[in-house]
Amino acid sequence: MNDTVVMKTRMNFSRPRSFRSAPALVFALLFTLVGPTGGLIHAQAEAGPALNPPAGMSDAEFQRVYKDGANLQTIFRAIYAGVRPSVVRVMAEVSVPTGQEVPPALLKDPFFRRFFPQQPRGSRKSVSFGTGFIINSSGLIVTNRHVVGDARTVKVHLHDGTVLDGQVRGGDELTDVALVQVQSPKPLQAARLGNSDNIQVGDIAIAVGNPFGLDGTFTTGVISGLHRAGLDESGLKFIQTDASINQGNSGGPLLNLNGEVIGINRMIYSPSGGSIGIGFAIPVTAVQPVIKQIAETGIFERPLLGVKIDAVQDARGNRGAMIVEVVGGSAAHSAGLVPGDVIIAIDSKNIKGPDDLSRQIQRKRVGDAVELDVVRKGRKFSVKTKLKSLQ
C-alpha cells in the first residue's frame, strides 16, 4: 500500500562487484587493531571518548557533553526495548480496482477502439502491509484505515515472529484510523499514549515501524512542524517530522523522548516516493475519541454542530468563528443560531477561529451537550444544544 503523496518507490540492493581486495582489507584491519607491541588496541578508553575536543572546548567540557550523548543513546535503547513488543506488522488482502476510465465520446471512435481497447473494469486482490501498535493487553491494535482497506480479517505479525489472525474492529475513513483485534494466548504489551497537544517544534521524534517490510526499524528526528493543514479532507492538523517514514510505516507510532505515542504515522511528501525528511503523523490526542468509540461500538459517529463558518476578528483583536450558513435540523439550528452570529467560546473555552471550533467539536460525541458563547450584533449571550450525527 502506498503511503506517499507522490508515487513510486524503488529500492535496490546490490552486491560488491569484486572481492579481490579482501586480503588487503584484512591486513588493514589487523594493522588497525594490533599495536606496535602486538597487543590489541581498545576502540575506546573506559575513561571517556577516544576523540579530541573541538577547537575552543576544554577536555572537561567535552567529557561532559560526550557523557550526555551517551545518556541519549541509552535512552534510545530503552525506548526501543520498551516499545518494540508493542509494534506489529499488519498485512491485509484488499481489492484494488482494475481497468481504466475512458470518456464515452472516445469509445464511439472506431480508430480509438482499434488501438486503445478499453480494459474490462473490475478488481484484483492485492496484499497491503503496514504497521500498527497495541493499545491494550487484550490485543487491540491501532493502524491506518488505508492499511486494512475493506478487509475484515488480517494477519498480524508480532515482534517475536508470532503470526495471529486479526479481526478488523472498525475504522474511520476520514481520519484514516482503524482498529484490529487479535486473540493471543499470552498477554500483549501495550504502548503508552502521550499528549500530542503538548509537543513543540524541535522536540525529538522517533518512528518505529516496518518500512519496505524491514520489521522493527527505528528512526529518529525532530518535530519539524505542527498544525499542517489541508493534506486531506479530514480537517486534522498533522504533525510534521523529519524522522524517516517510508512505505510500510503507515499506522505505526511516532514517539516522544518518554517513549509515549504522540502520533500515528500517516504519509510522506516525496517527489521520488522515498523519504526526504517530510513525514506527517496524525496527532494521537485528536483521534482518541475516534479510537475509543470504535473500540466500544465498532463504528464512529462524527458529531456535527451544523454550521459553515469563517474566521473573524473584532477591533480589539478578539477572535471567533462567524457562522456563514446553518444546516436545517442541525444542533445549531435547534439552538436558534443564524448566519452572522460569532461563536467565541465552547464550554467556557475561548475559540481562536474555525479550526479551533472544529477541533473542539470533534473531541465530543454525538449526543453530548455543549454550551456556546455567541455574539450577535454586539450582544453576547449563551446557548446550549446537543450535538447530532454527521449522517
The tens digit of pLDDT for each residue in 331-380 reads 999 999 999 999 999 999 998 888 888 888 888 889 999 999 999 998 99
Residue 72 CA to residue 18 CA, distance in Å, equals 39
Lowest mean pLDDT among 22-26, 205-209, 255-259, 294-298: 22-26
d(CA 366, CA 230): 25
pLDDT, residue 49, reads 61
The DSSP symbol for 56 reads: T
Report residue 111's pLDDT band, with 50, 70 and 90 as the boundaries.
low
Contact 327, 351 (CB under 8 A): no
Residues with catalytic function: 146, 176, 250
Once rounded to an integer, what is the mean pLDDT over residues 122-132?
A: 81
Contact 230, 269 (CB under 8 A): no
In whole angstroms, give the CA distance from residue 166 to residue 157. 10
Q: Residue 116: pLDDT band by 50, 70, 90 thresholds?
A: low
- Choose between 75 and 97: higher pLDDT: 75
CB 195 within 8 A of CB 212: no
Query: Cell numbers at residue 139, please?
Result: 490485543
pLDDT for the residue 196:
96
For the chain, what is the mean pLDDT?
A: 82
pLDDT at position 70: 81
**Dihedral of the CA atoms 287, 289, 290, 292 (nearest 10)?**
120
- Is the per-residue pLDDT at 28 higher than 60? no
Residue 7 pLDDT > 60: no
142-165 per-position pLDDT tens digit? 999 999 988 988 999 999 999 999
pLDDT band at 270 (very low <50, low <70, confident <90, very high): confident
The pLDDT of 6-14, averaged and rounded, is 34
d(CA 338, CA 322): 10
Across residues 295-321, what is the average pLDDT?
A: 86
Contact 175/282 with Cβ under 8 angstroms? yes
Domains of the chain: 196-297 (2.40.10.10), 303-389 (2.30.42.10)
Residue matched to cell numbers 526501543: 80
What are residue 274's phi and psi, to 5 degrees? -100, 170
Is the pLDDT at 14 greater than 50? The verdict is: no
Going from the C-alpha of 169 to that of each of 80, 296, 299, the distances in angstroms are: 28, 9, 8
Tell me the pLDDT band of 95, cut-offs 50, 70 and 90.
low
> Of the candidates 198, 211, 212, 215, which has an alpha carbon nearest to the alpha carbon of residue 243?
211
CA dihedral of 267, 358, 353, 377, whole degrees rounded to 10? 160
CA-CA distances (angstroms) from residue 81 to 84, 242, 334, 373? 6, 22, 53, 48
pLDDT band at 120 (very low <50, low <70, confident <90, very high): low
Q: If you average pLDDT over residues 305-332, what whole number do you get? A: 87
Three-state DSSP state, 271? coil
Percent above pLDDT 70 for the chain = 78
Indicate the length of the chain as a whole number: 391
Q: Which residues make beta-bridge pairs with 40?
A: 34
Across the range 12-26, mean pLDDT stands at 40
Picking from 213, 265, 215, 263, the residue whose alpha carbon sits closest to that of residue 244 is 265
Give the largest Cα separation in the chain, rounded. 92
pTM: 0.72
pLDDT tier at 35, thresholds 50, 70, 90: very low
Cell of 62: 567535552
- Report which of 291, 191, 203 is spatially closest to residue 239, judged by C-alpha positions: 203
Q: What is the pLDDT of residues 345-357, one digit of tens each?
A: 999 999 888 888 8
> What is the reported pLDDT for 297?
92
Query: For residues 176, 181, 186 and 190, what is the CA-based torsion angle, rounded to 10 degrees?
Result: 30
